[in-house]
Chains A and B, each alone.
Chain A
Amino acid sequence: MDLELSEDEAALRDNVRSVLASICPPAAVRAVYEGKGDPAAVWARMVELDWPGLAVPEQHGGLGMGYVAVALVAEELGRAVVPGPLLATATQFVPLVRELGAESALAGDLLARVAAGELTGTVALAEGGRWEPDAVAATARETADGWALAGTKVAVLDGAGADEVLVVARAPGTAGAEGLGVFAVPRADLAVTARTVVDPTLPLADVALDGLVVPAGRVLAAPGAAGVAEALDRAGQEATVALALGTVGACRVVFERTLEYAKVREQYGKPIGSFQALKHRLADMYLAVERATSLGYYAALTIAEDDPQRAVAASMAKAAAGECQRLVAHDGLQLHGGIGVTWENDLHFPVKRAISGDALYGNAVHHRARLARMLGFLPSEKHDGDDPEVVA
């Protein structure tokens, strides 16, 4: 396999990086953190550049880029700690709408409006801290007025800001991969509670579904329709790997700043980076970042090429990104000494982004536990949507 970026891929990455440096410099991130900036301004520039339609198929007016391109953009969003709706829209909302059948009028309309920059979206999937479709307990019961939903969704990325929320619920009495359905609900119709979180660039909200009735015209996939579990698996992998690479992107910045600091900060008359204790920790940080980047690119490729390894690869990428975060965010703060824990230093922005990215869609521990089942080390509790054969 060829795991290095092609010329086109490198050009895309460079272009995205330079645009983000201009539309979302560190000062803009700080402004969002301090409640003085508006992520909408960043989004408006992205709309001008047609970025919302990145992953929308061309037939719906999008750019129709493959998953490798999406993954590279996600890495850059993490690297620049970019706020706003692009991440949830392009890596969670669009993939699920597309997987559930861009042939339906509702799906086509949603995708076209995203591509036109008129609509932002997200996915309300997690319950009780778990993102696997099997863990969905929220129910959808068909009534004369439409589908009556019940339950609570947690940690919805951009849940208080997105225009449209895809709510995953199941037919009462079903379990596992059976009976799952997806509803497209305007956020204004939902009882949303914004969470208070460390990283305002990855804002989260909980959604109470009790009392919500979704009209038939807003059903993206009726509970029990064919292929919903597979669509949720595939879209979940896209979201997971995007978060993995975003986490790695943020970690890379933490690493680069720490390395730079170790070269200029002097104690005992020499740069602290000349001490072997620090050299070895920086070498380990570098390994953690490169290791997680490589697994992230591999996972992105398996998704782009629809390889049967994509479930295993996505979980490995997310686990490695989380492990990277545990080392790099920690050592980044530690090696900066006191200055790293001051609000006025920008280091805490990528640190918090990395920790938040690890926490979403299952952290490192969660994905290792999934892998233990997928690889046959632990009995399978449930449907994981995976090919039990491994890997690379």
Chain B
Amino acid sequence: MRLTFGDEVEAFRREFQAWLAENRPSAEEMAAEPAVASAHLPGWARAWARRMFDAGWLVPGWPPELGGRHAGPVEVLAYLEELTRAGVPRTTNPQGLGIVAPSILDYGSEEQIHDYAMPVLRGERSACLGMSEPGAGSDLASLSTRAVVDGDSFVINGQKVWTSGAAYADFCFLFCRTDPQAPKHKGISVVLVDMATPGITVRPLAQIARPEHPDLTEVFLSDVVVPRSNLVGRMNDGWAMANGSLAHERGMVWLSGVMMLEQEVAGLRQTAPAALARLAPADRVVVADGLVQSCIDAAAARCLGYRGFAKLVRGGSAPEQALMKAFTSEAGQRLALRSAELGADRTVDIGPTPDSPVTGIERYFGSFGGTISAGSSEIQRNIIAEKVLGLPR
């Protein structure tokens, strides 16, 4: 065990810091045209993706032709830390960069890579991920959107829900049922669907936090015709991508949760003393204890994540990584509520305020995105209990 990484990693970190300082989008640029949904590519975001891709800083672990530089896992960790520290988003299309493009690179045809994956990496096209349905949430394999082969085409009918960014995405990485007779995991395929195809209706779903900026949508598909060549991978073999797609940079997904928590704790430590000073002394002690628990959560999340990460880097397994998603999202939720409560009579105020575009209570409502999406906390506990602890189903 040691507190720092080796010199070569720190040299890599400094190289990226220097590049970032020169090439990052400015805070003014980002504020002038904010990304309002998770597949929205404002002009600065397109240019930023392209600069990162060309310089090999988009996915440093990949080869240069895919926007990388053959970096090792510890270097990638340092890269992600610096990006977060600088307050620069890596992408405004996280589903596209993190899941869709890598899955197409792994499973797709040369043509799909050329037409869909590479444009996502270069910031030219954005992608959404069509997974959940009204009848298939945690139990995704029960999805019923149908794709029927008709000559050289698929004809698709059905409905997706909770689809992030569909109102802005150029195409959808759509999970659909292609064999209704097969067991539910075995009749699913993935088809690439251009969002401009006739028959697609996107209805934004305003959320309880920030209803003016809906990210989640419902997507209705009615006799949508796409070329059969848009099938990704093999027919009826899509379930592998439902699991595998989430495994990209699997050793790293914990880090964003940790760093988000740390940033929120850092913000809280800035504002808390003044807010605490307004409370009666006895109240202050109780409230301060909650804040301390959030600080411990953030430090623990970092330590737990780093410990598992070190195991993976050494080629071992790190079953405790399965704990990170529920832990960091729930810790963030506790922190958001504490931060709201710190406002005392201002607990239920909504933003923008002079200090912040959103208030604690808005962050609290927003935090349910973390505890519900991509496998709810309850599903996470089932996974930990069954897959890690070996408890019977």
- Mark A residues whose CB is within 8 Å of B: 1-6, 9, 68, 259, 262-263, 270-271, 273-274, 276, 278-280, 282-284, 286-287, 290-295, 297-298, 300-302, 304-305, 307, 313, 316, 319-320, 368-369, 371-372, 375-378, 390-392
Q: A377 contacts B393, CB within 8 Å? A: no
For A278, list chain B residues within 8 Å (CB).
391
Top-10 shortest CB links A-B: A4-B310, A279-B385, A294-B303, A377-B288, A3-B307, A283-B384, A283-B381, A273-B391, A372-B288, A294-B304
> What 0/1 readout, one digit per residue, does chain B (359-393) give for beta carbons within 8 Å of chain A?
00000000000000000001011101110111111
For B389, list chain A residues within 8 Å (CB).
259, 279, 282-283, 286
Q: Do A305 and B3 form a contact, CB below 8 Å, given A294-B304, A316-B299, A378-B288?
A: yes
For B304, list chain A residues within 8 Å (CB).
290-291, 294
CA distance A369 to B291 in the complex (A): 11
Distance of A245 from chain B, by nearest CB (Å) = 13
Q: What number of residue pairs across chains A and B have CB atoms under 8 A from each other?
A: 150
B122 within 8 A of A: no
In the complex, which residue of chain B has the Cβ closest to the Cβ of A298?
Answer: B303
Which of B222-230, B238-246, B269-277 is the contact stretch? B269-277
Q: A372 contacts B302, CB within 8 Å? A: no
Q: Do A390 and B269 form a contact, CB below 8 Å, given A263-B391, A273-B391, A305-B2?
A: yes
Distance of A110 from chain B, by nearest CB (Å) = 29
Interface of A (DSSP majority class): helix
> What 0/1 readout, one digit per residue, does chain B (214-250) give for beta carbons within 8 Å of chain A?
0000000000000000000000000000000000000
For B314, list chain A residues within 8 Å (CB).
4
Beyond the given A297-B1, A300-B1, please list 10 additional residue pairs across the A-B interface where CB-CB is below 8 A.
A1-B3, A1-B306, A4-B311, A280-B382, A290-B323, A294-B307, A298-B303, A319-B296, A376-B273, A377-B288
Interface size range of chain B in the complex: 35 or more
- Mark B residues whose CB is within 8 Å of A: 1-5, 269, 272-273, 276, 284-285, 288-289, 291-293, 295-296, 298-300, 302-304, 306-307, 310-311, 314, 320, 323, 326-327, 378, 380-382, 384-386, 388-393
Q: B300 contacts A271, CB within 8 Å? A: no
In the complex, which residue of chain B has the Cβ closest to the Cβ of A1?
Answer: B3
Q: A372 contacts B303, CB within 8 Å? A: no
CA distance A313 to B276 in the complex (A): 23
Q: Do A371 and B4 form a contact, CB below 8 Å, given A2-B306, A263-B391?
A: no
For B276, list chain A residues within 8 Å (CB).
377-378
Q: A371 contacts B299, CB within 8 Å? A: no
Q: Do A295 and B299 form a contact, CB below 8 Å, given A282-B391, A368-B293?
A: yes
CA distance A16 to B373 in the complex (A): 43
For A300, list chain B residues within 8 Å (CB).
1
Q: B393 contacts A274, CB within 8 Å? A: yes
CA distance A273 to B388 in the complex (A): 13
Q: Do A282 and B385 form a contact, CB below 8 Å, given A274-B391, A297-B1, A376-B269?
A: yes
Name 24 interchain pairs, CB-CB below 8 A, sorted by A. A3-B307, A4-B311, A259-B391, A263-B390, A273-B391, A273-B392, A279-B386, A279-B389, A291-B300, A291-B327, A294-B306, A295-B296, A297-B307, A298-B299, A305-B3, A320-B296, A375-B292, A376-B272, A377-B272, A377-B276, A378-B276, A390-B295, A391-B295, A392-B299
CA distance A376 to B276 in the complex (A): 10
For B307, list chain A residues within 8 Å (CB).
3-4, 293-294, 297
Q: A3 contacts B306, CB within 8 Å? A: yes
In the complex, which residue of chain B has the Cβ closest to the Cβ of A365?
Answer: B289
Distance of B276 from chain A, by nearest CB (Å) = 6
For A276, list chain B residues within 8 Å (CB).
382
Distance of A298 from chain B, by nearest CB (Å) = 4
Which of A320, A375, A376 makes the CB contact (< 8 A) with B300? A320
Q: A270 contacts B385, CB within 8 Å? A: no
CA distance A291 to B327 in the complex (A): 10
Q: A279 contacts B382, CB within 8 Å? A: yes
In the complex, which residue of chain A has the Cβ closest to the Cβ of B301?
Answer: A291
Q: A290 contacts B320, CB within 8 Å? A: yes
Residue in A270, A274, A294 whose Cβ sees the most chain B Cβ within 10 Å: A294
Which of A286, A319, A390 makes the CB contact (< 8 A) with B384? A286
Q: A377 contacts B323, CB within 8 Å? A: no
Q: B2 contacts A295, CB within 8 Å? A: no
For A391, list chain B residues within 8 Å (CB).
295, 299
Distance of B31 from chain A, by nearest CB (Å) = 29
Residue in B298, B304, B380, B388 whose Cβ sees the most chain A Cβ within 10 Å: B304
Which of B1, B288, B391 makes the CB contact (< 8 A) with A68? B1
In the complex, which residue of chain A has the Cβ closest to the Cβ of B302?
Answer: A392
For B386, list chain A residues within 8 Å (CB).
279
CA distance A391 to B297 in the complex (A): 12
In the complex, which residue of chain A has the Cβ closest to the Cβ of B74?
Answer: A2
For A282, list chain B residues within 8 Å (CB).
385, 389, 391
Distance of B208 from chain A, by nearest CB (Å) = 26
For A319, list chain B residues within 8 Å (CB).
292, 296
Q: A263 contacts B392, CB within 8 Å? A: yes
For A262, list chain B residues within 8 Å (CB).
391
Q: A9 contacts B295, CB within 8 Å? A: no
Distance of A22 from chain B, by nearest CB (Å) = 27
Distance of A319 from chain B, by nearest CB (Å) = 6
Distance of B336 from chain A, by nearest CB (Å) = 17
Q: A6 contacts B1, CB within 8 Å? A: yes
Distance of B304 from chain A, by nearest CB (Å) = 4
Q: B3 contacts A307, CB within 8 Å? A: yes
Distance of B173 from chain A, by nearest CB (Å) = 30
Q: Do A301 and B1 form a contact, CB below 8 Å, given A286-B384, A295-B300, A371-B292?
A: yes
Q: B3 contacts A375, CB within 8 Å? A: no
